[in-house]
Chains A and B, each alone.
Chain A
Amino acid sequence: MTQTLHSPLLLCLLLLTAWGIVGLAGLIRPASVAFAGRTLFPLGAVCGAAVAYVAATSLFAPAEQIVLSIGLPDLPVHLRLDSLSSAFLFLLGAAATGISIFAAGYFRRGEGTPPGLMCLQYHLFLASMGFVLLANDAYSFMLAWETMALSSYFLVTTQHRIPEIRSAGFLYLLIAHIGAIAILLSFGVMQGGSWQFTFDAMRAAQLDPAWATSAFLLALFGFGAKAGLVPMHVWLPEAHPAAPSPVSALMSGVMLKTALYGMLRVTFDLLGEPVWWWGLILLALGLFSALYGVIFAAAQTDMKRLLAYSSIENIGILFSGVGLAIVFAGTGMRIAASLALIAVLYHALNHAFMKSLLFLGTGAVLHATGERNLGRLGGLIHRMPWVAWLTLVGALAIAGLPPLNGFVSEWLLLQSFLFASEVPQAFVNMLLPLGAALLVLAAALAGYVMVKFFGVIFLGQPREAALQEAHDAGIAERAGLAWLAVGCVLLGLLPAQVIALLSRVIQPLGFSGLPLDDGSWWLLVPLPQRQISYAPLVFFAVILVVIVLTIAAVRFFYHQRVRRSDPWDCGFGRLNSRMQDTAEGFGQPIRHLFTPFFAMARELPSAFDPAPRYRVVIGDRIWRGLYLPLGRLVRRIADAVAWLQQGRISTYLLYSFVTLVTLLALML
C-alpha cells in the first residue's frame, strides 16, 4: 500500500480505474439524473483533480513503468509514466475537473441516452484517454485508442434520434477508424522486424530512413485524422456540435491533444531522431489548417461549429509548432527546438482550458435559450452575467490577447519562428520565417472570430423575444466555468513557472530544456542571450493601476454622473434588434476576402419580393472535392464486389472451400 502511494504510475492507474468504477456506478440507477448529476459527476471531478495533482507531482519523479499481466495470455499490458505523459495527464485531469463540475449541473432529463449510461460513456472516455497516455506498447495503446473513439462516438450520438447527429457520428467513427488503421500500420513499421510491439522495442529498433519516413507519414495521417488536421478535418465540425457541450469540451479540449501526444511520442521518442524535412510537411499542413480553420470559423453561424473550426485552427498552430521543432531538431538547433516544443505544449495546455471554457459557455447558453444559431441569440450578458463574463475570459484568451494565456504560447511560438532564419539549409531558411506571417494572420483572425462569437451571443439586443426569459447557469455550471477561467488567467500570468515545468516535460523527447534565467519569479526570460523577456504580472498590474488611477482621477476632478437614455437612432425612431449586424454580416468581409476557400451558394431576393429571403450556404471545398468523389468511388467498388453475394448457402460454402484450398496450397 505504501508503495502504491509513492508510485505516481500506480496512483494514476488507481484513479483511472476509479473513473471506470464511477462510470459503472451510473448503471445502478440509469434513469436518475439526480444520482448521476449530484453524486457521480462530482466524484469524477474529484478524480480528475486528483489525476491532475498526481501528474503534476510526477513531473519531478523519474520515469517508471510496470507490466500488468492482464488481458490475453502472453500479451501483458505495458504502462509507463514519464514527464511527457504526466504533462498530458495533467491537462486531462485539470480540464476534466472543470468539465465534470459543469456536467454535474448540465445534464437534464430528456430524450436520447439515459443519464446513467451517459455517465458510463463519459467516464470510460476519460479513463481511456488516460490509458492512451500511459500505454507503453502498441496493443494497449490501440485498445485504449479504440475505446476512446468508441465511447466518444456514443457520446456524440447521445441525441441519436436526430438523423443529422447519426450521420455526424458515423462520419466521425469512419475517419477515426481509418486513422486508427494508419496508426496501427505505423506501429507495425516501427517494430523494425523485432516483432516486439512494446514501445521499448520500437525505441531500440534501428529503422532505415525510408521506413522511418513511412512510419512518420502513417503516424501523421493517423494522428492528423484524430486531431482534425486539414484535409482530414471534415468530421470535426460535424461531431463537435452534435455532442452535448461537456462532451464537445472534452473532445476539443482534451481528445485532440491525445493525437498531439501521439505525434510527439512517435516522432521524437519512438523514432528517435527526426529528419528535418518531415517538419516541413507538418509545418505546411499545420499552417494551412490554422488559416483554413479560422477562415471557416469566421463564416459560421452556428456557435458550436464556429468553435469546432476554431479548434481546427488551434490544432493547426500546434502541429506547425511541432513541425518547426522537427526542423530545428533535425538540423541540430536544440535550443530553438526546445523553445518550439515548449510553445506547443504550452499552447496545448492553454487550448484545453480556453476551448473547454468556450464550449461549456455555449452549453450554458444552449440550455438557457435552446438556440445554437447565432442569428437567434444576442444580449445575453444582461440575463446571464456569470456565463458572459467567464466566457469573455476564454474568448479574450483564445484571441491571443495579453496578459491571458493564449498570448504566451503565441509569443513563444513567434520567438521560435525568429530562429528559423538560422536553419543551415539554404533557401529553406528563407521560407520558414514566412510561416510566421501565416501564423500571425491566423492569430489576428482568431481575434476577429472571437469578437464575432462573443459580441453576437452576449452583446447587443436580444434577437428573439424568448431570450428575455433566459436564466443564468446554476452553481455547478458556474463553478466549472470559473475553474477553467481561473486556469486561463493563471496560465497567462505565471509563464515562468509553467515553462520551468515544461522544460522538464521535453526531457524524455531528448531535449535539455531552455537556459531559463531564474533571476526573478515574475519575469520570463526564455533565452537570456536574446534579451527578450515578458512579465505578464507587471504588465497586468500596470494596466490595472492605470485604469484605477484614471477612474479615480475622473471621479476626483470631474463627476460620475450618468443618465440612461435610448440609444441614438439618427432620428429614425424605429430601431429594433433586427437591424443589428448578424453573424452572416459579421463574417462577410472574410467571405469576401477569402472567396476561393469557400464553396458558396447564395440566394438573393429581388427588390420587389414581398417576402424577401436571403440565404447563403457555405460549403467546404475539400468536402466536395475530395470526400464526395472518394465516397462515390468506395460505393462503386462496393457495388462491384456485391455480386459475390448470391444468397445461396452452397455458393458461400464454395467460397470457404476455395479459400481453404488456396491457403493450404500456398502454405505447403
Chain B
Amino acid sequence: MNMTALPFDLQLLNTLAALLLLLSFAMLSQRRIVTLINLLAVQGALLCIATLLLAWRTGAGHLYLSAGLTLALKVIFLPWLLHRLIRKLGVYWDTEPLLNTTGTMLVGVLIVVFSFGLAQPISALASTATRNSIGIAVAVVLIAFLTMITRRKAMSQVVGFLSMENGLFFGAMSATYGMPMIVEFGVALDVLVAMLVLGVFFFQIREQFDSLDLQHLESLKEDQ
C-alpha cells in the first residue's frame, strides 16, 4: 500500500522504469531484428519521457537538454540508421538464439533478482526520489548484456549494446539525477561514433564472410 504515499509523478516514473524493463525482456525474447530496433526506439522514447519528467520535477535545466539529446539520438537517428543498415544488408531475422527463449527469459528473471539485491545498498545511499529504480537500471544493463550474449547476428548485438547504454543512462538518472552535461555529451558522441564504426564493420564482415553471423569470426583465431 506504500504506493499511495508516492506523488503521482513518481508513480509515473516508476511505471516508466518498469516499462523499460518490460521492453528489455521483450527484446530478449524477440528474434526479428526489425522489431528489435523498433523496441529499442520505444525504449529510447520512454527514456526521453522519463528524463523530461524528472527535469520537470527537479527543475534541473540540463536534464531538458539530455532529454532532447535522447530524442534526437536514440529515438530518431540511431533507429533510422539501423533500419537503413538492415535494408542494405538484408538481415531481417536472427537465427535461433544460442539458448532457447524460455531459458534466456529464466536467466533474465534471475538477473532481475540479482540486480535488485545488488542495488539495495546503493539505493539506501542515494538520496534521490527515484532510488527505487536503480535496481531496474542495473537489470536493464545486465539483460541487454544477456541479449548480446545469446545472439549470433552482429546486428542484434549492436541493438543490445544500445539498450545497455539506455540502462546506464537511466541508472545515472535515478541515482544522481543525471550525469554532468559534459559526460553526457561525451557518452552520446561515443555511442554515435561506435555506431558508425560498427556500421562500417558490418559491411566489412559481410564482405569477408558473406554473412553477418558472428560465428564466422571464430575462424579468425590462430590455429593451435
Contact = CB atoms under 8 A, between A and B. Distances in A.
The answer to whether A and B touch in the complex, with CB atoms under 8 Å apart, is yes
Nearest to A427: B117
B113 interface: yes
A430 interface: yes
Interface of A: 426-427, 430-431, 434, 593
A431 B120 contact: no
Interface in B150-196: none
A434 B117 CA distance: 15
A431 B116 CA distance: 11
Residue with the highest number of chain B CB atoms closer than 10 Å, among A430, A434, A593: A430
Contacts of A430: 113, 116
Contacts of B4: none
B224 interface: no
9 contacts: A426-B120, A427-B116, A427-B117, A427-B120, A430-B113, A430-B116, A431-B113, A434-B113, A593-B102
Interface of B: 102, 113, 116-117, 120
Contacts of A427: 116-117, 120
Nearest to A431: B113
B1 to A, nearest CB: 11
A445 to B, nearest CB: 15
A593 B102 CA distance: 9
A584 B203 CA distance: 49
Contacts of A431: 113
Q: Which 9 A-B pairs have the closest CB atoms?
A: A427-B117, A427-B120, A431-B113, A430-B116, A426-B120, A593-B102, A427-B116, A430-B113, A434-B113
Nearest to B109: A434
A63 B116 CA distance: 48
A523 B113 CA distance: 39
Contacts of B116: 427, 430
A434 B106 CA distance: 12
B210 to A, nearest CB: 33
Contacts of A426: 120
A593 B103 CA distance: 10
Nearest to A426: B120
A434 B113 CA distance: 10
Contacts of B113: 430-431, 434
Contacts of B120: 426-427
A118 to B, nearest CB: 48
A183 B116 CA distance: 39
Nearest to B117: A427
A405 to B, nearest CB: 32
A444 to B, nearest CB: 16
A593 B105 CA distance: 13
B18 to A, nearest CB: 15
Nearest to A437: B109
A427 B120 CA distance: 8
A431 to B, nearest CB: 7
A334 B161 CA distance: 49
B51 to A, nearest CB: 28
A593 B100 CA distance: 10
Contacts of A434: 113
Nearest to B113: A431
Nearest to B135: A430
A637 B116 CA distance: 47
A562 B175 CA distance: 72
Nearest to B102: A593
A505 to B, nearest CB: 34
Given A427-B116, A431-B113, A434-B113, 6 more contacts: A426-B120, A427-B117, A427-B120, A430-B113, A430-B116, A593-B102
A5 to B, nearest CB: 56
A435 to B, nearest CB: 12
A427 B113 CA distance: 9
B205 to A, nearest CB: 33
B111 to A, nearest CB: 14
A430 B117 CA distance: 10
B223 to A, nearest CB: 33
A589 to B, nearest CB: 12
A593 B117 CA distance: 29
A427 B102 CA distance: 25
B38 to A, nearest CB: 29
Contacts of B117: 427
B116 to A, nearest CB: 7
Nearest to A434: B113
A411 to B, nearest CB: 24
A426 B117 CA distance: 9
B187 to A, nearest CB: 31
A427 B116 CA distance: 8
A504 B116 CA distance: 41
Nearest to B103: A596
A128 to B, nearest CB: 44
A439 to B, nearest CB: 16
A430 B102 CA distance: 22
A517 B102 CA distance: 44
A430 B113 CA distance: 9
Contacts of A593: 102
A405 B110 CA distance: 34
Nearest to A593: B102
A431 B117 CA distance: 10
B163 to A, nearest CB: 24
Nearest to A594: B102
B22 to A, nearest CB: 18
Contacts of B102: 593
A224 B148 CA distance: 42
A430 B123 CA distance: 15
A639 B197 CA distance: 66
A593 B116 CA distance: 28
A427 B117 CA distance: 7
A645 B55 CA distance: 84
A314 B214 CA distance: 46
A156 B125 CA distance: 61
Nearest to A596: B103
A598 to B, nearest CB: 15
A593 B120 CA distance: 34
A432 to B, nearest CB: 12
B126 to A, nearest CB: 16
A430 B132 CA distance: 14
A385 to B, nearest CB: 41
A233 to B, nearest CB: 23
